[in-house]
Structure formats: C-alpha cells, structure tokens
Amino acid sequence: MPSLSPLFALIIGIDDWLWPKMPGLRGCVNDVELMRRVLQDRFGVPDENVLTLTNQAATRDAITNAFRTQFIDRAKQWRQSGGKDPEPAFVFHYSGHGSRARDASGTQPDGLDETIVPYDSRVGDVYDIKDWELAQWLGELTSYTENVTIILDCCHSGSGTRSIDSLGTRRLGPVDLRNQPQIRPPGQTGLPVGPGHDWNAHRLKGANWNSGNQIDLNSTATRSAHDDQDSVSGNCKYVLLAACRNFEFAEEYTINVSPPVDCDVPASTTETDSPTATKNAGNAEPAADANSLAKAVKKHGAFTWFLAKELMSLSDGQTTTYRDLQQRVQYEVLNRYPSQSPQCEGDRDRILFGGVRPRRDTSLLISRVDQDRVWVDGGAVHGLVVGQSMDVYSPDAKTFANSVPIGRLRVINVGSVHSVCRVETGEAVLHGRVPMPIPSSSPRRHQVAVAVSDSAVRAALIRRLGANDIDPYIEVAQSVDQLPNSHHTDGADFCIVESGSQLQLRGADGRSLVEPSDIADVSKVVQNLAAICRFNNALGLSNASPDSALDGKISVQFFLAGEADPASDDKRRRVRSVRPVPTTAEGLPIVEIDTPIAIEVVNHSDQPVFVEAISFGHDYAIIPLTAELTAPGNRKRVGPGSALWFGRDMSDLEIVFMLPQDADQANCFVEVRESLKVIATVEETDFDVLKQDGLAIPTNTATRSSMAPGSALDHLLNQAMAGSRALGARRKQDATSDWTAVVQQYVVAKPDSQCAQTLAGGSSVWIDAYDTSVTAPEGFDCQVQVVSSHSAARSVHDDPAQHNGAGQDAMPSQRRDRPSGPLWESGALRPFAFAAKRCATPVGDAIEITADPDAMELISDDRPIQISIAGSSGVDQPVAGQATQGRGRWMAIAWDAGCAYPVGQGDSLADISVSWLPPAANGEPAGDHEPVQAVRRGLLRTIRLYLYQVCDWESPELGLHAVRLVPADDVGTDRLLRGERTVDSPHGQLRYRTWTAADNPNAGPSDGRRVLLVVHGFSSSSQAALDDLQEIVGDEMSDYEVVLVFDFETFHTPIAESAKQLAKALVDAGIAADDGMKLDVLATGMGAILARSLIEQFGGHAWVDRCFLAGVPNDGTALMKAKSALPWIGTAILNLGGPHPAALFFSAALKKLESDAAALADLVPGSGFLRGLEAAAGAVDPKLPYEVIAGLYQVADPNQASADDWSSRWIAAGLVGVGLGARVLFADGHDLIVNSSSVTSVPVKDLRIHTVDCHHFAYFRSDAVGQVLSQWMDRT
C-alpha cells in the first residue's frame, strides 16, 4: 500500500551502550529492522527515505544531526517551496532506554528531566537527550509541518521515555545524577511541546470557551502540579504513540522465528508468548537450553511488535486513524501485559501519516469477544446500565448515520469502566464500534407531549420518537389541546409544538429550548430532544454504591488567576497567583468574560485516581476538558492528597471564557449558568463517548415572566442533580473499579465594563440584550446598564468597602442583611426579572444608573427618567393565592446604601416614570453627627433601580364589624355564623360580620360585657392589626366578649369624617351611655387621632370607658410639611412595614395621593382638623383615662453604624431626600414619623404616658408595647 505522500523516517534502536553500567537490551535493534520493513513493504517508502541508527551509530551527535537533516531541513525546504508538492510525513521511532537526569533549572517538581539515552551517553562529557531538547527539535520541525509522528517504545513513554529492569526485559536506565551542562530554557516544557522554536514567543494564549462551548486552544505544552511528567499540548501539531503510561513499564515480547531469519514481520511469524503465560510470569523465557533459545526466539518491544502487526494487517487502500490504530494495539498489549497501556496523544483522529482528519463519530469499542459474550470499554461512569440495547458497527465505520449495523447487543453486567453484553442479533467482532446510547442516570423516562395538528407530521413524529436511539428514554404523553400558542405542557417535561411551518421544542415552562426546525424535518427536533436528554442524564451520573471509598473525596474549586506568584513556595515551577472568585447568593462561582481563571481538583482519598473534567454548557454541549486543555488521549492521574490544576502553572493553559463569535449574539449575551463535572476513576477510561456539540439556542425568549422560576434547562439541571443515582442491581464496590463524580455549577457573565452604555441627557439608550429603553431628561448624563445579583456579588467581591455598606447590595429579596419584616417574603411586592435574549432564564435584576450626585437631585416629576420594556404586556399576572382580580401597579424601587426607596411608578412596564432619586446623605449633619458619605464610583454615584409589581391585595370591607378568631385546629368544625365572612390568618381564621343593634338585645345597665374596639393606622387594615396583636396580647384579647374593628379609608377621606362614621355605626349598634358594656378603644397612628376625634368631637366620651393610643400625632407631624412626605412614608413602609400597608399604600397612585390626600393634610401641624380637636378637648369627661405609648427610635451615629445598621444611614439620607432639616425630627425623641412631644401632648387630666423603644410601624409588633398593653387590658 504505497504512501500517498513522501514519508521520511528516522528509526533508532539501541541494545548495547558504551557506558558499562548501562544494562543491555535484546529487542531494540530488532524493532528498527521491523519498522523499516513495515514502512517499506506496507507503505512503499523508498530505502533512501528511511534512516536507521543502531547501537554504536546512535551517538548523541548522530541523533542530533540526523533529526535536523532528515526532518527539519526537508520540512523547511518543502515549506519554502510554497507547498507545491504533497506535504511529506515525518516519522520518528525510538526503541531503547528511557531514563532521567538531574534538572539543572530547578523547575521540575521531582528535580529530574526525562531523557532518552544515546549510545555514548554517560561517558565523559556526553549526556542524555533531555525531553525538553527533543521538544525544541519538534518545535522547530512543526513550525514547518504538522504531519509528524513520534513513536516511543520505552518505559514512562507516556511522557517521552522508556525503561527496562535489571533482567533485561524492561527498558529503564539508571538516573544520571551528574551536574548537567545544559539548562532548560525558562518556561520550556519537555517532550512534547507546541509549535515554534522561539522560546520568548511561547507565551500562553489560553484555552478559550465561547458561548457556544467551543474551545480555542493556542498554547505551549502543559505541566501540572499533580504529576512530574510533561504532556502533549492541546494544539499539538504532531501525534505521539507511546508504549505505556508515564508510570508504567514497556515490556519486551518473545516471538518464534524457527527457522531463524534476519527479520520477520508479524504476518510471517508465530507468537510463542501466550496471554495466560505472560500475565502470570511476565517475560519469563520458554523452557529450553540457552543455545536452542538463541536460535528459536527473538525479542521485540511488545508495543512495536503489535503496532507493526496492526499496520501490516491493513489492506490495500485501507486507511485508519491514529485513534483506531492505538485502540487495536492497546487491546493486543493489555491482553498480555495488564500493566502496560499504550497511549496516543495529540490529534488522534487524523489519518495515519497524513494531514486529513475524517469525520468520526465517537463510540465505545469492543475489546473482547467470547462466543455470544462481548466486552465493551464503557461502564457505569459513562451511564451504561443493565438492560440497555446497543447497535454494533464494523470497525471501519467512521460515521453511523449512513452505516448499517452488523449486530445488536444487550448489556447484562456493568462495571465501572467496562461492561459485558450479550449478542442479541447479528454478530459482534473484535474492535467493533458501538455508538454510545443516551446515559441512564434516572429510572424516570422524560414525558414528551406532541401538540401538532397535521396528522401526517404527527404520525412521523410518533414513529421517530419510537426509534431505538430515543424511545428507551422518553414516553410520549397524550396530545395537549393548546396548539401553537400553548406556553405550558400539561405536566410533560417537553412539548413538540407546531408553529406555522416550524416545529418548536419547548420545556415544561413553555420556553423554546432550541431554535425551531422545519416542520418537514421531524428528525431534527427529535435529535435535539435526544441531545437534551443526553445532557440531562450525563450530568446526573453518580456512583450509587455505599461502599465507594472515593465518595466525597474529590473537591473542585474555581479561582481568579493573576500574574506569576512571587510568594509561591514552589521554587521548581512558576505559578500564577490565585484568589477566590466572587460567588452568587447560592455560592456559585462567577466567571467573567475575558478574565483568566484557574481550577483546582483535589484528591482527598488514599489512592491515585484518573481525573476527567467535563464541561456541561448552557447550550447543551458536553466537552471532556482534560484532553482539550492538554491533549486528546492524555489522562490525568492524581496521587493521594495531590491537586490537579488547570490554568495555574505558567506553562499551563490560560483559561478564559469568550463572548460568542457572532456579533449579534455577543451583543445580547449577558450571563449563563453552566456546570463542570469532575469524574475520578481508579481505572483509566475515555470519556469522549459523552461528547456532543452545542445546540442552537434561541436568541429571543418565547415568553417573559416577572417571576424567575427557572427555565427548562434549570429544571433539567435540578432533575439531574436530585434524581436517582443509578439503575441496576447494586453490588459491593471493588476497590480496583471505584469511581466518583462531583458537579460544580458556575456562572459565566459579561463584565460590567462591557455592559454599561452612555446615556446623554435628552436622549434614549436601547439595551438590546433585554429589549429595554431608558430615557434621560435634559442635562442628566449617566451610565446605564441592566445588572443582576451576580453583578452585585462581583462588585462586593472587588470592593470590600461596598460589602460594608458603602456600596451596592444585592436585590432586596436576596440580601442576607435585608430589612426586618415580612414584606419582601410576602408576595405583596413581586420582583421583575429582566429576560435576556441569550439566556433561557431571566437574569437581569435591576437597572443601574451611575451619574453625578448633584444631577441626580434634579430628577423630578417634571424631569423624570423614563423606563420602557418592550414586549412586556404578558408579565402583569397576579400572584396566585394573594392577588385579587385586576393587575397591580409597577413600582421602581431604588436600592441604595442598604435602603429601599419608592422612586417611580407606572401602570405597565412599558411606561415607568422615575420622579426622584434618593440623594446622598452628605448635606446637613444629623444633630452632632458627621454627614454620611455618598455612594460613589470615583466622583460619580451609583444607584440600582428594581422593578416590583404591587399585588392588588383584597381591600378590607370598610365600616364597623365584629370579628372572632377561630384557631387553626377548629376551623373545620366551628360552624360559620349567619353573615360571617372569613379571612385567613397566621393563627387560624378571622371571621367578620356586621355589628348591629340586633347583636345587643340585652344592652342596659346589667349587660356587663367587655368590648374591645381596634382601630388600625395609616395605610393598614384591621386584619394586619389583629394579626400583630395576636402575637403580643392574644390571651388578653380572648378575655373580651366582643372584639370590634373599624376599617376606614386612610388616604382621601378627612379624619373627622371617618370619626363621624364610626360614631354613627356605634350608636346604630346600640352603644350608649347606659348600655352597661365596658368599651375599651385600642388604636394606633392615624387611627389613634381618629379615636380622639370620636371621643372628643362626636360624643364618644359618653360611652367609651378607656382609651389606649399608640403613636398618636396629637400635634400632627412635621413630616407633612415636607415637599416629599409620601416618598418618605413609602420609604418607611418599604423598610419597616408589613405586606398589608405596603400593598394598600402602593396600590394607590402616589401622584394622586399627593394632590388629594385629605387625611394626610389633616396631620399637618396647625391644620383646621387639629385646631378643632384641641378646642373640643374640654368636652372630655375628666374620668376617662388615656394610656399613651410614645415610640422612641434610637438612631446611631450614621458614620459609625455597622454594616447591618442600615436604618441610621437611611434616616440621614432620607431626611435630606424629603427636604427636612435633620433637627426637625431629631430635636426630641421620635418614632420615625411623629415627634415624641406630639405623641404626649394629650389635653386630658387622666393620662398615663409610656415610652418604649419602637418605631411607628411596629407598635403592635413590639414586645415592650405588649407588656404595657397586657397590663392595661388586665385592669378592669
């Protein structure tokens, strides 16, 4: 079979050395002649193209000169000729001793260089050829050509060497401990290395992932801390065929050559070493005398012999790849020498001795055939389970789509990396190829719904879904009724939906998972489904054995990689400095685009393991990374207690994530979530069978949602992480077949610097990734971008000062130190998540604005910032179980220095107006305090705007009602009374009914009932008040025979009018001076001043026996004089209030409140209402006792406040924001809304005043108030 292009070979074999202490060998010269004959007989290589050096001829100088003249000079000449002639192939073969020599550079972890031993080495000033020297030669050679093959038949040849034992059956030379005259160039690794011979040019350019999960490799060779052997680089331009792994020995093999001949090739010889004998006795010679033995047998390197055998077995015109060749040779060698595993590293899928890389589907390989039993090189780590069926193809089949299977197998026994199958149909041949089925990690089959109206297309889909490659892993559900516009799948995991002339594959949440396919191409959508199932199941693979000694013994951690670390204790190699990566709220590492990272994998077990790291991309790509980051075929073996680093060693690849190559996709890219799965095995195995390319992810999301429940991809990840760990019978874990897996999810994000856009005053900017526009008023220049909670985590990580309160915090609902209270968890305010075009999951949390602080203060109703989100009509959905009919308003909430401010609103996401921004608290000092510093980036200030939907909570029924609490245990048995309506409560059920005179038939002096009237405060309800009171005085309230509540409108109705309505309702119900009932009034805030009006202005003093008032604004509140009182109150409610006040307050239009808030106008100091109340005070019966609670909110020095004391910073900033001098409230005590002097100025004689530490919105939640109130209720 003539070679298709010129081939030049340099074949070296040495059995005897000049140095007398070097053990002799017997098969290396035979290897030379054998390989020469193979090249000539099988590949037609002319004699003049093959240069052989044996024994005395293989001196150091001769090898050096021969490599240059035979290879480098010829390759250079071909390149300089312009490549007109076919590219020549270059084959270097070495058989002999491998050894080690002292590393003079001090850079090798074990202090030794790998070497090959020339004939005259170790004598005088002649030294071994170092691995890095050979690497230099190869570097220069591969700068001219890629068609280079290196064959090493020596021990440790997985790193470029070979050895022999003292019996002469293994090829290992003693270590050369002499001082070496030559030093490894800085950064130069050993055999083999990447292109080029200019060592200063060998700066690493990194392993780069783009968003399509493809890797761009451009670097020199790698070296890792786990192993003191060098390895082929990821972009190696040649292929290395090695006799064994770098910790194994290369054996010699005995053949029968009777009658003896000068040279015998495998086709004409008989093997004398039986597999059984060899396995049991190593290389023991046949039982014969020395003379007959010398005539009857011949030695060869086992690797060279079986390599030659496979080469000779190729038929005329047959081609093979290096991978196929290595697998066949490995099978032959391992069957005889289980501790010798031939390796192939580099571009393994290239045609042997050629530059062509044919398409080749990955597959499992049949490694043994015994009648109807077949062994394949895949096991539990690959997802094989008992019962799986697999097709078998010819060994020559490169792709399976156009090939016909020759048989079918069924798995009957599964090991960790090998499995036994039974031949069901056809035949199975040695080295036959078996396509990897979808891995099985869960017994549950994915439910697939088909929503297709075209009967022919539907029938074709059902047939295709029943094919062998997909049917075992899915179950076709009943057809769903919703056709093209269905956004849900009726409980199915996936739905194939007809949409015009296309078929869409949607997840459980209705989102399109991949780009649609033509309706006529049903195979395409099923192939995509199969790929997603494969992704899901492969990610979920784990070892279910309870006996695994590796379980929990492998850890993986991400780091940011910097420049060379001068503080490193390891003086033998240069490593990059590392520091922890920022993390999300869930603790996931955040990896920014274009930021180098390093990954550490640690083996905490007590045995060495082979490690593979597999990337699971957001586009469903599965990429085994160890080979990509080093070289295909180069498996990493990590010793006990050792670490494997990717991207840290200065001679290692620099790992950098890149933007998508497509400009439009790059512009839309924001962040994605991916996973790194690390699998550790005791036995070596290949994970290329799991590899799959990424799918085309849709640029635009199918629907938007203001919630962020997770995409179908997230569901897949969660199912894979939480699903069943394995199928099949469990068995005790064999220590030699143990394995484990660990998954580390991480987030790949575009840096903020690449996301921010400049917005000039009077113009708009379009944020394409989120279909969002922001318009600034004239004169307001800023930087604007959509950020996520991950961005917040990164900013905190990069600037520790920000984490201490000087910068931006995470989204309110995600902050670890968020304000106290149930508001953020209640659902009263529902956060909006910006859906990025390039992500299946909404990832944007807020709009970040960076501008001059003075310019921010100019934002007003007349000069607003406008926000419009395109395609957002479908997001205004009420929250199930909490909202009533109708859609809530949208609020823009600024999150600044740990505080929430309501700064804008809109009826829809398409029209949100931001009418103010909280200024920095750097104005008037708060009392004797120094001003709080503004939140700035440089001279600018940054504020984040979060969008929330205010749920339309059910408004309370206004008026006077009797209410009773039915405990949760009695709700089912306690019958409803006539006219009762129910409201759920944390303590059971509140039952309301209108209270009328009919409820008081015995009213009179002898009645004697105790009645409690509760009046809520501003923007609250009786339900909220009762829920809170139940916590602090629940037992005392149960002592009242009747509990009344009065719900009133707190915005637009004058307080006196509400008091008048209450008085009329009480009189109509039979309340009078001689009713015999003891009526206690309990009220707070605006309700407390209403109670005073009831008593002092509308006759209540005649029938109210006692009054308990909390936070009553007797003189009003100076807050109402502020230019922005409502934003201040809204800020207080956001940070301190509960869900009821927030929902009721923010459901109303703030602009309308400011123009028509009659009740609030009554609280302006000196208002007509307050003057009238003061004039009526003299009408109060002197015997009516008042109990008054004044809250005293303790304000810390804002400049000395801890990171958790957000309220002190809020007060200092907020006071400036509403236009108040700080001393207006701080002149005396206050509860954040009302001054203490206003609370205590009740013009009555029987008055008890209590001061407690409490703010205005917590009177009925305060334990201190509860103690006072309990004592008051107990007094009859």
Among 110-124, 270-284, 645-659, whose mean pLDDT is lowest?
270-284
Q: Region 347-359: what's the mean pLDDT?
A: 77
Q: 35 pLDDT band (50/70/90 cuts)? A: very high
- Which has the minimum average pLDDT: 57-66, 181-190, 682-691, 903-912? 181-190
Which of these, 1096, 1272, 1269, 1133, lies nearest to 1214 by C-alpha position?
1133
**How would residue 722 be classed by pLDDT, with cut points 50, 70 and 90?**
very low
Number of independent structural domains in the chain: 6
Query: Range with the lowest mean pLDDT among 5-19, 182-196, 560-574, 1149-1163?
Result: 182-196
**Arithmetic mean of pLDDT, 136-140:** 89
Beta-carbon count within 10 A of 1142 CB: 28
Tell me: do 379 and 453 sit in the same domain.
no
Residues 1113 and 977 in one domain: yes
Tokens of 509: 């949440």
In this structure, are 122 and 245 located in the same domain?
yes
Provide the pLDDT for residue 657: 81
Q: 522 with 451, same domain?
A: yes
Q: Are residues 339 and 387 in the same domain?
A: no
Q: How far apart are CA 28 and CA 302, in angstroms?
A: 11
CATH number at residue 1049: 3.40.50.1820
In a domain, 1189, yes or no: yes
Domain boundary at 434, 459, 486, which?
434
- In this structure, the answer to whether residues 1182 and 1234 fall within a common structural domain is yes
User: Across residues 1078-1099, what is the average pLDDT?
Assistant: 94
CA distance 311 to 151: 13
- 216 and 124 Cβ atoms separated by less than 8 Å: no
Is position 218 within any domain?
A: no
Least confident of 47-56, 279-288, 340-349: 279-288
Token duo for residue 188: 């130069």
Model confidence, pTM = 0.66
What is d(CA 209, CA 661) in angstroms, rounded to the nearest whole number?
A: 11
Residue 336's pLDDT band (cuts 50, 70, 90): confident
Residue 228 has pLDDT above 70, yes or no: no
pLDDT confidence of residue 370: 87
For residues 134 and 274, state if they share a domain. yes
What was the pLDDT predicted at 998?
85
Would you state the pLDDT for residue 564? 77
- Collapsing DSSP states into helix, strand and coil, what is residue 1271? helix
> Which residues pair with residue 522 across a beta bridge?
none
Q: What is the 3-state secondary structure (H, E, C) of 274-325?
A: CHHHHHHHCCCCCCCCHHHHHHHEEEEEHHHHHHHHHHHCCCCCCCCEHHHH
Same domain? 1141 vs 1023: yes
Are residues 1032 and 1107 in contact, defined by beta-carbon separation less than 8 angstroms? no
Bridging pattern class, strands 494-499 and 502-507: antiparallel
Q: Are residues 1033 and 1002 in the same domain?
A: yes
Q: Is the pLDDT of residue 65 over 90?
A: yes
β pairing state of 112-116 and 98-102 = antiparallel
pLDDT interval class at 185 (50, 70, 90): low
Residue 708 in this model has a pLDDT that exceeds 50: no
For helices 1022-1037 and 1139-1147, what crossing angle results, to 10°? 160
Among 195-209, 464-478, 785-799, 1013-1027, the minimum mean pLDDT is found in: 195-209
Exposure letters 1156-1193 (e unless 16+ CB within 10 A, then b): ebebbebbbeebebbeebeebeeebeeebbbbbbbbbb
Please check the confidence at residue 703 and state whether its pLDDT lies above 50.
no
Where residue 414 sits, what CATH number does that domain have?
A: 2.40.10.410
Q: Is 856 a residue whose pLDDT tops 70? A: yes
**One domain for residues 475 and 505:** yes
54, β-bridge pairs: 13
pLDDT grade, residue 219 (50/70/90)? very low
**For residue 100, what pLDDT is reported?**
84
Residue 937 or residue 69, greater confidence: 69
- Give mean pLDDT, residues 986-1005: 86
Does 201 reside within a domain? no
Looking at the DSSP bridge assignments, the partners of residue 961 are 994, 1045
Select from 743, 929, 756, 968 the least CA-distant residue to 847: 756
Per-residue tokens: 175: 């270590």
CA distances from 192 to 232, 534, 617, 1204 (A): 5, 35, 30, 56
What are 710's two structure tokens?
Answer: 């997770």
Contact call for residues 575 and 654 (beta carbons, < 8 A): no
CATH of the domain at 450: 3.30.413
pLDDT digits (tens, 9 = 90+) for 1168-1201: 999 999 888 776 765 789 999 999 887 655 444 4
Last residue in a domain, options 950, 970, 1003: 950
Residues 878 and 783 sit within 8 Å (Cβ to Cβ): no
- Does residue 1073 fall inside a structural domain? yes
What percent helix, strand, coil does the chain show, rounded to 5?
25, 25, 50
Residue (of 723, 714, 724) closest to 745 by Cα position: 714
CATH number at residue 330: 3.40.50.1460
Any domain includes 867: yes
Residue 953 to residue 821: CA distance in whole angstroms: 18
Q: Rounded to an integer, what distance in angstroms lies between the CA atom of residue 747 and that of residue 720? A: 18
Residue 481's pLDDT is what?
Answer: 46
Specify if 884 maps to a domain.
yes
Task: Express each pLDDT in 372-408 by its tens digit.
Answer: 899 998 999 899 999 999 999 988 887 888 889 999 9
| 1167 and 1132 assigned to the same domain | yes
Burial letters 575-591, b for 16+ CB under 10 A, else e: bbbbeebbbbeeebbbb
Check residue 70 and report its DSSP letter.
Answer: I
Residue 698 within any structural domain of the chain: yes
For residue 669, with 0-12 CB atoms within 10 Å meaning exposed, 13-18 middle and 19 or more buried, which class applies? buried
Q: Are 390 and 451 contained in the same domain? A: no
Confidence at residue 814, expressed as pLDDT on a 0 to 100 scale: 42
Mean pLDDT over all residues of the chain?
Answer: 76
* Per-residue confidence (pLDDT) for residue 285, from 0 to 100: 36
pLDDT of residue 707: 31
Instruction: Decide if 1218 is inside a domain.
Output: no
Give 1101-1166 as a 3 state SS string: HHCCCEEEEECCCCCCCHHHHCCCHHHHHHHHHHHHCCHHHHHHHHHCCHHHHHHHCHHHHCCCCC
Identity at 263, one-letter amino acid code: C
High-pLDDT (> 70) share of the chain, % = 71
Full residue range of the structural domain in which residue 901 is found: 752-950
pLDDT reported for residue 1155: 55
Say if residues 342 and 381 touch (Cβ distance below 8 Å).
no
pLDDT in tens, 990-999: 999 998 888 8
Whether the Cβ atoms of residue 378 and residue 366 lie closer than 8 Å to each other:
no
Q: What secondary structure does DSSP assign to 779-796, as a single string?
A: T--EEEEEE-HHHHHHHH
Write down which residue in 434, 455, 482 finishes a domain: 434
